[in-house]
Structure 1
Amino acid sequence: MSKSMIIQGRNIYPQTIKAIRRMIANHPDWHRTRLSKELCKRWRWLTDNGQLKDMACRSMLRKLEQKGLIELPAPLHHGNRKRRIHDISHSCEPIETDLKAIQPVKLLAIHSRGVEDNLFHCLMDRYHYLGCKGHVGEHMKYYAVDSQERPLAFLLFGSAAWKTAPRDQFIGWDRTVRKQNLRFITNNTRFLILPWVRVPHLASFILGACIRRLRQDWIQKYGHEIFMVETFVDRTRFTGTCYRAANWINVGCSKGRSRQDRHNQLNVSIKDIYVYPLTDDYKERLCVLT
């Protein structure tokens, strides 16, 4: 390797590769997790609240191995270990009424594994057309219940799209600024109103409630702010009415590529792109280059 490259947001130089190889050779008893944690400590690769960026480091190491630049210890677990989704018993009794009749609607955050988290994965996997894949990195999960504590909806916020021209132009991003500040945007990757719930205006009500608390919840969990939320609405399935009703801004449409497709090789359906600024000075904050 004669040139530098960027992986997981880090500049990787030839001397970086040599240092990783040396660490692997000097500690043949270390497994991959130990190796990634020691690298995070050595590089001070931390989140804003001081946690090791272990998952990002492990992803970087796997990518370096795929390029033939390093040879990692054998994995302790072989194959893709997918989280087992438990089948949770739940009522499908129709909830068909007006919004006032089910108030107060409460929006609750899911912070750890437990009953609510298992229910989130079960219902999202069963009733959302995209299913419930594992989520890596910073994310927030919410669920809404009515006055009788009956589940109504589930939401997931995760990593923003790597790049999308309408959003980037709306903000005023170039490649350098986007790379630095992408973490200050989150993507509403899942929004599920349970199929037996038919309450007019419920979706926009829940989106509004979520927007009001999301920024502070993110600061509390991850130690840094977010200044905008985005979402991608599959126009072959949905019209985006609830997002428009909740005052999200339609900034354009995607080109039919997935979030992970950086080489124009994956074809997916075209989606309308909506954003919601969380602060008045969001453009200024998102365009600061440090």
Structure 2
Amino acid sequence: MGEETGHRVCGRTLSEADLAAIRVEIALADPPNRAEIARRVCRRLDWRNAKGEAKLMSARVGLLRLHRSGLIELPEPTTRNNNGLPLKHGPKRWPQERAFSGSVGALSGLRLSPVAEKARSRLWNGLIDRYHYLGYSPLPGAQLRYLIESEQGLLGALGFGAAAWKVAARDRWIGWERETRERHLGRVLNNARFLVLPWIRVRNLASRVLALAARQVGEDFAERYGERPVLLETFVETPRFRGTCYRAANWQYLGCTQGRGKCDVAHRAALARKDIYVYPLSADFRRALGVEG
């Protein structure tokens, strides 16, 4: 696996001893289903977040990846999910397309509303699936999702998920070596989705939303997961976008990706290159990310 050791899944490196322990828990699970196996594995490997809660979703995703790699054998799923099928869970009723134009100062009550209830989750998923150029896919790892709202109505959607595993320009800028990155990557959040609805034409709205997010996500993430992020990152596909709103919101440009993707073992650039932007949430973010001096 190149420079990595063990089997890396969902932010955790599993040794051969860990895999052996997982196989034991699979054999002992009662009832013998994937949910119970994930609970047992979290207990056995102490797979928890900063609040001490079992990371069941990460465990289930990681176990499925190990199963598909042939490293473990999971029982057949007891229920069918919609993975790989077209998105079916948009909102029961789509919001009215209320066109609004002008300057951001003309908006009243601009806010980022956290997505918590099921109905709002369906709305967020549906908006991203219908209007975002990347479409909907579940955000990786620990995440925060917001609806962008004002007194004038719904304006868009914003989502943060787990940081990219390796980014050469970002890691050099932080000063990360591999082991330090592995220990502290969870304190970096990736702005994976940003959508302003196509009928909203408000000057400077995007940069204002990013400024709101910079003030809000640290507290929201700490309340939900028990750990405060110290750095935000995002990747802007070029030449489709220019990153203007990130620059206007004082995000720092670090360079561009190599366009290879995490599965490019042949080192052949095949994906779109993306500009890399970061935004520190604290002055001592490098120290919080394990870099001294």
> Normalized against structure 1, the TM-score is what?
0.89
Residue 169 of structure 1 and its aligned partner are, at CA, apart by 0.9
Cα shift readout 1:62-92 (whole Å, capped 9, x = no counterpart): 3333343332212213465466322532222
In structure 2, the residue matched to 1:251 is: 254
Q: SS where residue 256 of structure 1 aligns?
A: coil
The percent identity for this pair of structures is 37
Matched residues in 2 for 1:56 and 1:90: separation?
32
Tell me by how many angstroms 1:186 deviates: 0.4
Aligned partner letter, 1:72: L
Q: C-alpha distance in 1, partners of 2:66/2:128?
A: 34
2:201 is the counterpart of 1:198: yes
2:132 to 107, 128, 135: 128
Aligned to 1:210: 213
| Cα 1:122–1:26 shift into 2, 3 Å | closer
Q: Which amino acid aligns with 2:204?
A: H
Partner of residue 18, structure 1: 20
Partner residue in 1 for 2:61: 59
- Structure 1 residues 76, 97: closer, same or farther in 2, change over 3 A? same
Q: Kindly tell me: are residues 140 and 122 of structure 1, through their superposed partners in 2, closer, same or farther at Cα, counting changes over 3 Å? A: same
Q: Label 1:169 to 1:18 Cα distance change in 2 as closer, same or farther (>3 A).
A: closer
How big is the shift at 1:49?
1.2
Quote the residue 1:86 is aligned against.
Answer: 90
Distance 1:240 1:44, change over 3 A: same
1:157 has 2:160 as partner: yes
Structure 2: 5+ residue stretches without partners = none
Partners of 1:117 and 1:164 lie apart in 2 by 30
The code of the aligned residue for 1:63 comes to R
Preserved contact between residue 96 and residue 198 of structure 1 (Cα < 8 Å):
yes
Kindly provide the amino acid, as one letter, of the partner of residue 93 in structure 1.
Answer: R
Q: Secondary structure in 2 aligned to 1:37?
A: helix
Q: CA RMSD in A?
A: 2.2
- Asked whether 1:189 is paired with 2:199, we answer no
User: 1:80 & 1:104 partners in 2: Cα distance?
Assistant: 37
Letter in 1 for 2:22: I
Cα distance per residue 1:242-262 (max 9 Å; x no partner): 11000000011111133x436
- Residue equivalent to 1:241: 244
The one-character-per-residue Cα deviations of 1:75-117 (angstroms, maximum 9, x if unpaired) are 2134654663225322223211222222231221112322x22
Question: Does structure 1 retain, via aligned residues, the 8 Å contact 2:175–2:291?
Answer: no
Shift in CA distance, 109/69, structure 1 to aligned 2, threshold 3 Å? closer
In structure 2, what residue type is equivalent to 1:89? W
Amino acid at match of 2:174: I
Query: Is 1:96 matched up with 2:101?
Result: yes
Cα separation, 2, equivalents of 1:284 and 1:246: 24
- 2:235 is aligned to 232
Instruction: Report the equivalent of 1:171.
Output: 174
SS in 2 for 1:97: strand
Please point out which of 268, 273, 286 is paired with 1:270.
Answer: 273
